[in-house]
């Protein structure tokens, strides 16, 4: 095999590096027993984050099932997220184009075709699948949003949106402005 073929078959080098600190504390934080400030199964944490991304940039790492909000000084806030199930994962760069508190939900036609039992519209509220807050990504139907199923955080269960606990999405919502860059990496 030519040497350049091996290089092409390798995953791209990451463009950021996360410093998790002591490994035992990271082990426990992944199971909700340490470190963060949220009530979900994956605790929100401040971590070392060495990259060239500007503060305020959101990095979604679907493989890790984590979302990073880049902070000044080589740090980021790391949140646990639910991601798209097989066939619904995507990558790319978008901007936050809108933010809504207790958003209403209208399932898209493709979702209704898969799940005819879904309501055609649901007002905002505690039972709404978009949860307490939503940040809309570009002109897509994708969102970073809360959830009425916090137990799904850390799993691949969505139709392409990124789910967070309501506590975490409210925290992120309060820190992010319309126009923020969102980079989704698979």
Give 90's DSSP letter. Answer: -
What is the per-residue pLDDT for 41? 64
The active-site residue, picked from 50, 94, 121, 145, is 145
**Residue 69 burial class via C-beta count within 10 angstroms: exposed 0-12, middle 13-18, buried 19 and up:** buried
Q: Is the dihedral of CA 36, 93, 16, 66 positive or negative?
A: positive
What is the per-residue pLDDT for 137? 98
121 is catalytic: no
What is the per-residue pLDDT for 171? 98
CATH for 15-185 is 2.40.440.10
What is the per-residue pLDDT for 9? 41
Any idea where the domains of the chain sit in the sequence? 15-185
Neighbours of 116 (CB within 10 A): 7
What is the per-residue pLDDT for 43? 92
**Residue 164 burial class via C-beta count within 10 angstroms: exposed 0-12, middle 13-18, buried 19 and up:** buried
Point out the residues of the chain with pLDDT beneath 50. Answer: 1-12, 22-40
161 is catalytic: yes
Task: Kindly report the pTM of this predicted structure.
Answer: 0.79
What is the per-residue pLDDT for 186? 85
**In contact, 35 and 45? CB cutoff 8 Å:** yes
The active-site residue, picked from 50, 94, 121, 161, is 161
What is the per-residue pLDDT for 4? 40
N-term to C-term CA, the chain? 27
Q: Which residues contact 67 (CB under 8 A, 6 or more apart)?
A: 58, 59, 60, 61, 78, 79, 80, 81, 144, 162, 164, 172
Q: Is the dihedral of CA 111, 115, 121, 125 positive or negative?
A: negative
């Amino acid at each position: 095999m030519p040497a350049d073929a091996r290089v092409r078959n390798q995953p791209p080098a990451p463009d950021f590096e996360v410093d998790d600190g002591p490994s035992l504390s990271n082990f426990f934080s992944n199971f909700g027993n340490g470190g963060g400030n949220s009530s979900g199964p994956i605790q929100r944490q401040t971590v070392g984050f060495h990259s060239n991304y500007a503060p305020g940039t959101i990095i979604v790492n679907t493989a890790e099932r984590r979302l990073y909000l880049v902070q000044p000084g080589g740090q980021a806030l790391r949140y646990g997220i639910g991601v798209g199930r097989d066939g619904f994962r995507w990558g790319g760069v978008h901007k936050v184009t809108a933010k809504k508190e207790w958003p209403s939900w209208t399932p898209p036609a493709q979702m209704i075709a898969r799940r005819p039992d879904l309501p055609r519209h649901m007002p905002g509220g505690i039972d709404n699948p978009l949860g307490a807050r939503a940040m809309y990504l570009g002109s897509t139907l994708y969102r970073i949003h809360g959830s009425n199923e916090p137990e799904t955080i850390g799993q691949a269960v969505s139709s392409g949106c990124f789910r967070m606990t309501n506590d975490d999405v409210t925290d992120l919502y309060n820190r992010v402005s319309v126009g923020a860059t969102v980079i989704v990496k698979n």
